[in-house]
C-alpha cells in the first residue's frame, strides 16, 4: 500500500491565484459570446418578419451593434450594445428594443438574441474559457 498526501496550503495558494486571475480569464470568452449574440441579433432579429421582428435592416442600427467585455466590480461582463442615434439625436435602438409604440412595437432585437440563443453562446463561452484556462495553467509552474 502507498499513500499520497496533499499539502492543502499549496492548493489554497493555487486557488487564490486562480481567483485573482479569473476576471482576466473571462474577458475573451465573454467577448466571443457577446459577439455571437451581436451576430444573431443582426442576422435574425433585425431582418426577421414583422410584426415580431423589425423586418427592415437599418444600416445605422445594424452597423451600430458592438460587442465588448470588460472587468467589472464583481468579475467580468460581456456587453452587446447598439449606439445608433437619429439625425435629431433620438435613441433609435432603445425605441425598438423597449417601446416602438408608434409602430406596433416593441420589436426587441438584443434581448431575444441573448435569451433565445443561450445554448449557442454558452457553448462558445465554454470552449474559449477552457482554451484560455489551459493556456494559463500550462504557463504556471507549481
Summarised one tens digit per residue, pLDDT across range 64-122 is 999 999 999 888 999 999 998 888 888 989 998 999 888 888 889 999 999 999 999 99
* Confidence class for position 141, pLDDT limits 50, 70, 90: low
**Cβ within 8 Å of residue 71, ≥6 positions away:** 23, 24, 27
Summarised one tens digit per residue, pLDDT across range 17-47 is 888 888 988 999 999 999 999 999 999 998 8
Extents of the domains making up the chain: 29-137
Q: Which residue has the higher pLDDT, 39 or 49?
A: 39
* Confidence class for position 142, pLDDT limits 50, 70, 90: very low
Q: What is the pTM of this model?
A: 0.83
Exposed, middle or buried: residue 46 (CB in 10 Å: 0-12, 13-18, 19+)? buried
* Confidence class for position 13, pLDDT limits 50, 70, 90: confident
- Distance from C-alpha of 100 to C-alpha of 28, rounded to nearest angstrom: 34
Q: Which of 5, 101, 107, 103 is nearest to 53 (CA)?
A: 107
Amino acid at each position: 500500500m502507498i499513500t499520497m498526501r496533499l499539502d492543502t496550503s499549496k492548493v489554497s495558494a493555487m486557488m487564490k491565484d486562480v481567483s485573482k486571475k479569473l476576471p482576466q480569464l473571462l474577458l475573451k470568452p465573454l467577448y466571443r459570446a457577446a459577439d455571437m449574440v451581436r451576430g444573431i441579433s443582426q442576422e435574425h432579429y433585425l431582418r426577421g418578419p414583422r410584426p415580431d421582428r423589425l423586418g427592415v435592416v437599418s444600416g445605422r442600427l445594424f452597423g451600430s451593434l458592438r460587442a465588448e467585455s470588460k472587468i467589472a466590480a464583481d468579475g467580468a461582463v460581456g456587453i452587446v450594445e447598439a449606439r445608433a442615434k437619429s439625425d435629431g439625436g433620438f435613441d433609435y435602438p432603445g425605441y425598438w428594443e423597449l417601446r416602438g409604440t408608434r409602430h406596433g412595437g416593441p420589436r426587441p432585437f438584443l434581448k431575444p438574441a441573448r435569451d433565445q440563443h443561450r445554448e449557442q453562446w454558452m457553448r462558445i463561452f465554454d470552449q474559449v474559457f477552457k482554451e484560455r484556462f489551459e493556456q494559463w495553467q500550462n504557463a504556471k509552474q507549481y
